[in-house]
Structure 1
Amino acid sequence: MSAAISNLAVPKSILDTDLYKLTMQQAVLHHFPTTRATYRFTNRDQTTLFSRQCIERFRSAVSQFTDLFLTEEEHEWLKGTCPYFTPAYLAFLSAYRYQPEQVRITFIPASPDGMLGQVEIEATGPWLETILWEVPLMACLSESYFQSVMTDWSYENQEESAFAKAQNLFEADCVFSEFGTRRRRSYHTQDIVLQELVRASKNISDHKGSLIGTSNVHFAHKYGISPIGTIAHEWFMGVAAMKGYENTNSISLNMWEEVYPDSILVALTDTFTTGSFFKDFVTDPERARRWAGLRQDSGDPFTFGPRVKEIYESLDIDPRDKLIIYSDSLNVEKAVGLKKQARDLGLEKVSFGIGTFFTNDFKTISSGGTKKSKALNMVIKLSSVDGHPCIKISDDLTKNTGDRATVEYVKRLYHLPTTKCNDI
């Protein structure tokens, strides 16, 4: 194998993905085994262009995903580490193979010479299969881009940086996990980060902070730490498209609980705005008691803690018993600030899922380390299920995902502002 081919950004394991892709895949197997789905890529920063070479490298890497499969050793580890996975699901995952023909990759020239442009990526097939494409496609595209387009960077000081970030979080008594797979600079970057976070965690003393795990199942296995994750926006998006938008948050939570009655019950609140979620959430106090906590992923995080405390207290639930996870564009400074607020509010179970700040925090070489080398600003979202469009309405109401007419319909249904928006 030539050097040009050997360093393609192909995942090292089928488990080189986020845990919630597996938990959602099991839920899809249970509820929607025959549903078809389409996922689409969006480059949020249209000033960022990909080279033709980058997209060819990306396409070549995707063609090699067929070599990935769950090993017997990984199967046994999952069985012991994640007891909520059923034998039927683990058998399905063991037989699963990526099918690159499900993915359409199109380079769209945008420069006079045709060598730079945008890329369209679409994955179509059974939801049960296509659900696993999102995370490794994004990680693979990011690594391909930083191998061939933006090369003005190096790994220098990455070990020291990750270790120092961990120490600062520990000293502020922050409990955190690593969430950086999908927008990582490279597999090697994430490997460095996890190695240093684990090393730092072994050196802490006199602090209550801790590293509780990583969203990446492969690295959790490699470093002997916990895989972290429950549920993502696409579950709510897909269920709403299939079942309708009336009381859709409650329907989504109830269907999830059918699959996971005793574990991983942490709800994501912002698929159709957090306010709309809470309107459904408070209608069933017993369910609110059963679910372990809530995850914040858009909007102003400093308004979230006080609102959650108010919601739980209105249901006669002690908020000190409930988990809050913050996971939106976090760095050390923001996490420390949120930890202080939680302490002031008397909220005891607070943790942080930190992604790009860990796995794609670089400076350019040419600037002497003074200018940031920006990560790609991209998403791959569930676009449709069985022909029904899927949407997401952010807590930032100017940022919505999906079919414009459906977005406006749901805004009216939930009495949300229908001001001009920038759909992505």
Structure 2
Amino acid sequence: MTTRHPDIILPASILDTDLYKFTMQQAILHHFPKAVAKYRFKNRDKDKGRYFTKTCYEKFKTAVAHFAEVVASEAELEWLHKAAPYFTQDYLNYLRSYRFKPEQVNISFVPVADSAEYGDIEIEAEGPWVETILWEVPLMATLSENWFLTVDTDWTYDGQAELAYEKGTKLLQAGCTFSEFGTRRRRSFKAHDIVMDGLIRATKDYSGPAKLSGTSNVHLAMKYGVNPVGTIAHEWFMGIAALRGYENCNGLALDLWEQVYPGSLLMALTDTFSTEAFYKDFVKDTERARRWKALRQDSGDPYVYAPRAKEVYTSLGIDYKEKMIIFSDALNMEKALGLKKQCDELGFPCSFGIGTWLTNDFKKASSGGKEKSPALNMVIKLSEVNGKPCVKISDEVMKNTGDLSEVRKAKETFGLPV
């Protein structure tokens, strides 16, 4: 439930975010209720000269000031209780009382040289980890929508419904089971809603074994009657490494998660400190590896992932054909179909979490549909917990985040090249 204001972009609902924000929030509430966290924004497009305008900044800042009006309704909580039974009543009560605190977010505008209108935006969110964890996704979605309404306006919604239907149909006909993961970098809420409607229509017109398994956006899952999808993100591993040290942090993160979600939501994200570092902990406990249902690939060369996972499971005496790989890194049709073909040849079940390619795939209107209108390349990452720096190493050097000296320390601990 969100109070509406003309010309102010706000989340459609407190559920208008990714499911794993709520699952991680419950885990933090359980294990680290007093931890204090800091998040920082990074505009990865700055080097390409894609800057914000002062108008975009002002509209974004005004929107954030109204976030406290975004609260959970009783109907939403009732639906969430049924759709996600792993949420405890204590957590749902916490979410009922949760309010965004705009004072936790500091937003500033940094003009580029010789320009009063264009510049970069700096964003920091700081406060209790259990509270600030919900800022990331709606901040990015709101900033993206403001950008495409005030800075890059050379686009229209024409053809988006047909495009979403076509993509969904082709994925399903190719045997790809997939979820929609595109909240944070969507062009707008309207674009996101159009995409979900198109995917639902494609699913209804398809009768094979593949399926749309759901959406990470909890609000749209409720609206369209599909599963909310998601488990765990990099920040869980990053925060635990900061709090407990890098040694065995991947294994500890899995164990702490399993204490909150025994028997459910056991899908491991492997690349926070590189997938090879993850496997060093993963293979130490065969029974734990047997309990966890899936691995998620989110950086690096996706075509080396399934063969390597097969090796790891085989070394533990686990039948990899009973596990699942979820691919979620910058997917498009070509990549999804190529990875599906490889996994089919290996006999390795797979599925796909597809984001920006679904919710922000537009052409410049002035080009007659020939030139791409690219999404913003931006991130908000956990940067500190209890004053200790958080880093992400990833399987792709361009995705490394955090203090460089701390990244070096982590790499040395994990035995990675520095």
- Counterpart check, 1:92 vs 2:94: yes
3-state SS, counterpart of residue 365 of structure 2: coil
* Segment of structure 1 superposing worse, 406-415 or 10-19: 406-415
State the SS of the aligned residue for 1:392: coil
Q: What does residue range 143-158 of structure 1 map to in structure 2 within 5 Å?
A: 143-158=145-160
Which stretches of structure 1, 4 residues or longer, exceed 4 Å deviation after superposition?
Answer: none
Aligned residue number for residue 345 of structure 1? 346
Q: Which residue of 1 aligns with 2:268?
A: 267
Assess if the C-alpha contact under 8 Å between 1:389 and 1:403 holds in 2.
Answer: yes
Structure 1 position 407 matched with structure 2 position 384: no
- Aligned residue number for residue 138 of structure 1: 140
- Whole-angstrom CA distance in 2 between matches of 1:380 and 1:400: 13
Aligned to 1:421: none
Rounded to whole Å, the distance in 1 between the matches of 2:34 and 2:5 is 36
| SS of match in other structure, 2:240 | helix
1:399 Cα deviation after fit: 3.9
The unaligned stretches of length 5 or more in structure 2 are none
Q: Residue 213 of structure 1 corresponds to which residue in structure 2?
A: 214
Q: CA–CA distance in 2 between the matches of 1:397 and 1:67?
A: 39
- Whether 1:120 aligns to 2:122 is yes
Paired residue type of 1:52: K
Shift of the 5–73 alpha-carbon distance from structure 1 to 2, 3 Å rule, reads closer
* 1:278 match: secondary structure: helix
**CA-to-aligned-CA distance 1:43-64 (integer Å, 9 cap, x gap):** 0111210000001010111111
Q: Is residue 2:18 matched to residue 1:22?
A: no
- Deviation, 1:112, is 2.1
Shift of 1:367: 0.9
- Residue 403 of structure 1, CA deviation: 1.2
Q: Does 1:255 align with 2:237?
A: no
Whether the aligned pair in 2 keeps the contact of 1:11 and 1:136 (CA below 8 Å) is yes
Q: State how 1:4-403 maps to structure 2 within 5 Å.
A: 6-46=6-46, 47-205=49-207, 207-347=208-348, 349-397=349-397, 399-403=399-403
TM-score, length-scaled by structure 2: 0.98
Shift of 1:5: 5.2
Letter in 2 for 1:155: Y
Counterpart of 2:297, as a letter, is Q
Give the secondary structure class of the aligned counterpart of 2:182: coil
1:128 corresponds to which letter in structure 2? Answer: V
Give unpaired runs (5+ residues) of structure 1: 419-424
Secondary structure of 1:255's partner?
helix
Q: Could you report, residue by residue, the CA deviation over 1:198-229 in whole angstroms, capped at 9, with x for unpaired residues?
A: 01100003x32210000000000000000000
Cα shift readout 1:367-393 (whole Å, capped 9, x = no counterpart): 111000010000000000000000000
Deviation, 1:332, is: 1.0
Output the aligned Cα RMSD. 1.0
Q: Distance in 1 between matches of 2:383 and 2:45?
A: 19
Instruction: Give the secondary-structure state (helix, strand or coil) at the position aligned to 2:14.
Output: coil
Q: String of CA shifts for 1:284-308, please: whole Å, max 9, x gaps.
A: 0000011111100000111001111
Identity %: 59
Give the secondary structure class of the aligned counterpart of 1:277: helix
Find the aligned partners of 2:385 and 2:414 in 1 and give their Cα distance: 22
Does the 8 Å contact 1:8/1:144 carry over to 2? no
Q: How many residues align?
A: 413
**Cα drift, residue 316 of structure 1:** 0.8
Judge conservation of contact 1:9–1:140 (CA < 8 Å) in 2.
Answer: yes
Deviation at 1:319, TM superposition (A): 0.8
